[in-house]
Structure 1
Amino acid sequence: MPKLHLKRTPQEEADHRARKKRKRESKHARKGSETRTDKSTRKWASSDSDGGDDVYGPHPPQPEAGPSKPFSEEDSDSRYKPDYEAIRAELEEARFREKMAGAFEDDDRLDSLEAQMNEYAHTIFFKMDPRYMDDEEYAEWIRAGMYRKTHAQEYAEEQQKKAARDARRAEEKAAKAETARLAKLAEEERKRKKLEKEIRRADYAREEYHSRWKTLLAAPSDTENPQSLLSFSDIPWPIVSAHRQKPDKKGSSQTAPPPTVSLDDLTVEAITTFLVPLPANGETEKKHRKDKLRETFLRFHPDKFEGRLMNRVRETDQQRVRDAIGVVVRALNALIGEV
């Protein structure tokens, strides 16, 4: 008689499905465990057979149990930061070794050079000593000595000629030295005379400078007569080249017109040399120098010169005169500031 299958109640149907589900999960779990066990067995068997420790090394140690520590840049810097002191020490050591090697090479070269020089010195200083001669040199030395003995007269004459040549050369050398000494003295004398001549010319130019200023200030103003108007060179400028030289015995240069002067001749150096040729040492000289500069400044003051003398200057030369006065005033200001 067949088994009767009664209809399940809803509760029984739910229990039946739950049992089937648990069976499936249990079966699936058993299959997964068997698969993992098989793979693990094959893996370690392959490592043991292939010598994995020799190839890959020992297994890394497992981290200790505990809370994980977050990674920070400080740990990375402290772990991988290069040691600069050690690197610098290695570089200095390498540089020192290189210098020492170069010094050793220099010492070897100097030793070789010294040996060569010593050999040369031996040849020079001991050449006439028979103890240091070879056979050929000794034979030649003996032959020379025998010749001197057998030809004493000829040897003496040769020595006399040699002494005469040496004496003549010494006389020529002494004569050249004496000639050079006399030429030097003559050159120094020429320079001294030239300097004295320049000093005398400068002194006479200063006298002429003051005399021309007195004449210029004392002369009456005649602007209507073109012949009486002053040119640029008629102004007594404070430079040596603007004045006549000392007249000769015939007095030809006394009546000669003043030299031609241009604006380029009025330099600071020329004005300084003319007004203050020597430095002032004492207080008296400084005071005298300051008074002389002040007097010159009053003569060439632009306003005073414009009111006293500019109307007596030719119209074509007035602008050049104004420019020259500006140069003189600037030089005087610089000299007064140095006093």
Structure 2
Amino acid sequence: MSSKTWLQDLFDAMAEDEGDYYSNSFYYEEGTRGSKGIDSLSEEDYAAFIRKGMYEKQHEQELKDQRRREDEFKRKQREKQRKMAEMQAEQRRLMRHKHARLREIRLERRALYLARWNQFDVNGQSSIEFKDIPWPTADIKRLSKDSINDFLLSGIEDNSEIRTILRQEQIRFHPDRWHRWIKRVPTERQKKKIMETVTEISRTINVLCEERCP
């Protein structure tokens, strides 16, 4: 007896036990798929076909549960991806808002800095102290290349604007320009402190200009 005949006998026996499921639903419906049906299958393919049907019948609930779990997993993955996309969109929105606000702050700070310089230039007061000078940093006690760069150029990407700002500051803090102001400093100690700071700023701006002015 061939394996195909043996499987057919087994199939018929199961059909008697299970009613019409195998004989009508599985064998005749599933087996006739394709242009030639079951008769076109090799013994190996036919055996696999029968085993598949038997397994699905015997584990019907288990397979349903498995498909349900797979569907639930896919649903959760889609939900996770949706939330991730929403979170990324919100992060981009917040970053745009942050950059816009930082630019506003920088423009306000720059405007105040220039206004103080205009006042400093025209002020005819008899004496000048260290604290009266508009220094190009948020905290003169922490003067550094980074602090000057952040104060003058933070948020600016246009090379021509960067070049213009740095050239203006090069002129403003050139030590030779400070002789007219240093005369109005009352003490030698203050004069020395101011000129040392001016010289350091001048050198730092020159470095920034070399780095950021193509």
The TM-score with structure 2 as length reference comes to: 0.60
Shift of 1:176: 1.2
Match of 1:230 in 2: 129
Find out whether 1:267 has 2:161 as its counterpart.
Answer: no
Structure 2 counterparts to residues 172-187 of structure 1, below 5 A:
172-187=76-91
| Structure 2: gaps of 5 or more residues | 1-41
Identity %: 19
Tell me, yes or no, if the aligned pair for 1:238 and 1:275 is still in contact at 8 Å. Answer: no
Q: How many Å separate the matches in 1 of 2:188 and 2:43?
A: 100
CA contact (8 A) 2:173 2:202 kept: yes
8 A Cα contact 2:170 2:202, kept in partner? yes
Alignment correspondent of 1:193: 97
Opposite residue 100 of structure 2, the aligned amino acid is: E
Kept in 2, the 8 Å contact 1:221–1:312? The answer is no
1:300 alignment partner AA: F
Q: Structure 1 pair 219/305, CA: closer, same or farther in 2 (3 Å)?
A: same
CA contact (8 A) 2:170 2:205 kept: yes
- Matched letter for residue 218 of structure 1: V
Structure 1 pair 267/158, CA: closer, same or farther in 2 (3 Å)?
same
Q: Distance in 2 between matches of 1:300 and 1:310?
A: 16
Where in structure 2 are the equivalents of 1:25-40 lying within 5 Å?
Answer: none
- What amino acid maps onto 1:192 in structure 2? R
Count residues with an aligned counterpart. Answer: 170
Q: Which has the higher contact order (CA 8 A, sep 6+)?
A: 2
1:210–1:295 Cα change, 3 Å:
same
Give the drift of 1:184: 1.8
Partner of 1:131: 44
1:171 corresponds to which of 70, 75, 78: 75
Amino acid at match of 1:266: S
Structure 1 residues 147, 332: CA separation in 2 closer, same or farther (over 3 Å shift)?
closer
Give the drift of 1:269.
7.2
Question: After superposition, what is the alpha-carbon deviation per residue over 1:127-151, rounded to whole angstroms, capped at 9, x for unaligned?
Answer: xx9628xxxxx7x9867644655x6
Structure 1 residue ranges without an equivalent (≥5): 1-128, 133-137, 224-228, 242-259
Question: Could you say which residue in structure 1 is the equivalent of 2:176?
Answer: 303
Shift of 1:272: 7.7
Establish whether residue 278 from structure 1 lines up as the match of residue 157 from structure 2.
yes
State the Cα distance separating 1:210 from its structure 2 match: 0.8
Q: 2:207 aligned with 1:326, yes or no?
A: no
Output the aligned Cα RMSD: 3.8
